[in-house]
């Protein structure tokens, strides 16, 4: 656990720092899935490493060691993690879990609010047109989701641009982009290094919807024009925190639509996959080292107990549980070997 426990932190930095810039240059659909995998694996690695660091400190508390039947002295001799580092890991883990809980509660409230909004919208079809002069257009996830467009927005666009706008919002709903947003928000709450990645993910989702709309309409210029006009019309208008055609960095989206469709590149995905594999393997290796360290400390404790009472002694005092545990541990070693 000397090095492997820190590898997930390094991988988080190596992946999350260049990932936002790379994601903007790659095909949006695979880029979104790649960002989701990066967020999930690095958040799990971050949390697991912090938990292992925290355990090395908690395990050295005498009361905890007594309940676990291991030797504190042997644990300190085998574990290279300083108590200050372990305490820092425990503090960061606690903060991460609290932020995760707060973010999850907020998300549940937002989902409940979205469902209430869907229930209040006029009509029962996928498209809901609001009698409002303010230019609004967004996808509202719910059960089922709805596409919300105001009359003010429809008046700003011609027929072709309206079709492109609706195709964009429909792509958000049908591809389940709100699930990607949820994953990035939760993982960014756990691992602060993932916050830039979550911002890049929002842009990638808009680009994904742009490309889906262009494929459905058959004219990238029309979609670019619809995105640009919708963004200009909605400038300065407050809108709910939802997926909208006017979201993201609009000039970059328009330039991408006016250019040829993006080509798929394999090298960034292969490099990212290798780093994610390294993160997972390192975490498993650190967990295995921690388990072996505790096993060794338990054997030292049992050896000291046997030296004091004898391996077959029968105790009737408060050490009875420890005696039974050591006897079971010896029986396991006899059948499976000392490192089973």
Per-residue pLDDT tens for 193-226?
Answer: 888 888 889 899 999 999 999 999 999 999 999 9
Cβ(154)–Cβ(129) under 8 Å?
yes
Burial class (CB in 10 A: 0-12, 13-18, 19+), 104: middle
Length of the chain in terms of residues written? 340
Gap between the Cα atoms of 335 and 214, Å rounded: 66
Cis (ω within 30 of 0) for the bond into 306?
A: no
Gap between the Cα atoms of 114 and 16, Å rounded: 30
Q: Could you give the angle at the alpha carbon of 316 between the alpha carbons of 314 and 318, nearest 5°?
A: 120
Gap between the Cα atoms of 28 and 212, Å rounded: 10
Q: Residue 314: pLDDT above 70?
A: no
Per-residue confidence (pLDDT) for residue 325, from 0 to 100: 55
Per DSSP, what are the bridge partners of residue 116?
A: none
Residue 111: CA atoms inside 13 Å, Cβ hemisphere, count?
Answer: 12
Query: Chain centroid to CA 25: how far?
Result: 22
Confidence of residue 84 (pLDDT cuts 50, 70, 90): confident
Q: Residue 259: pLDDT above 50?
A: yes
In this prediction, residues 10-34 reach a mean pLDDT of: 83
Cβ(30)–Cβ(264) under 8 Å?
yes
DSSP string, 302-340: HHHHHHHH-TT----STTHHHHHHHHHHHHHHHHH-TT-
Confidence of residue 318 (pLDDT cuts 50, 70, 90): very low
Per-residue confidence (pLDDT) for residue 232, from 0 to 100: 84
Q: In which element (H, E) is residue 84 found?
A: helix 83-120
Q: Would you state the structure tokens that stand for residue 36, as one six-digit string?
A: 């989701």
Q: Would you state the structure tokens that stand for residue 16, as one six-digit string?
A: 């999350």
Least confident range of 42-46, 251-255, 294-298: 294-298
């Amino acid at each position: 656990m000397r090095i492997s426990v820190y590898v997930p932190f390094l991988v988080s930095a190596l992946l999350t720092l260049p990932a936002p810039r790379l994601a903007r240059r790659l095909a949006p659909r695979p880029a979104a899935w790649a960002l989701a995998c990066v967020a999930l694996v690095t958040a799990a690695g971050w949390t697991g490493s912090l938990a292992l660091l925290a355990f090395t400190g908690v395990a050295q508390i005498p009361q905890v060691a007594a309940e676990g039947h291991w030797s504190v002295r042997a644990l300190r001799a085998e574990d290279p993690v300083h108590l200050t580092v372990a305490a820092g890991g425990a503090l960061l883990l606690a903060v991460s879990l609290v932020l995760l809980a707060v973010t999850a509660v907020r998300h549940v409230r937002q989902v409940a609010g979205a469902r209430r909004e869907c229930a209040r919208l006029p009509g029962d079809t996928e498209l809901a047109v609001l009698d409002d002069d303010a230019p609004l257009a967004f996808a509202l996830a719910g059960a089922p989701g709805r596409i919300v467009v105001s009359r003010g927005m429809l008046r700003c666009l011609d027929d072709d641009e309206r079709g492109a706008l609706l195709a964009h919002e429909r792509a958000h709903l049908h591809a389940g982009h709100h699930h990607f947003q949820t994953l990035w928000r939760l993982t960014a709450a756990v691992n602060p290094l993932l916050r830039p990645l979550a911002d890049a993910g929002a842009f990638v989702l808009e680009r994904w919807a742009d490309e889906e709309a262009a494929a459905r309409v058959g004219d990238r210029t029309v979609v670019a024009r619809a995105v640009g006009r919708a963004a200009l019309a909605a400038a300065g208008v407050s809108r709910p925190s939802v997926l909208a055609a006017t979201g993201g960095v609009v000039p970059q989206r328009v330039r991408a639509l006016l250019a040829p469709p993006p080509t798929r590149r394999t090298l960034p995905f292969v490099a990212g996959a290798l780093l994610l594999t390294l993160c997972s393997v390192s975490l498993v290796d650190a967990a295995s080292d921690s388990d072996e360290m505790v096993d060794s400390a338990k054997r030292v404790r049992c050896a000291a107990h046997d030296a004091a009472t004898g391996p077959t002694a029968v105790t009737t005092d408060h050490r009875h549980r420890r005696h039974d545990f050591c006897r079971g541990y010896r029986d396991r070693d006899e059948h499976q070997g000392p490192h089973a």
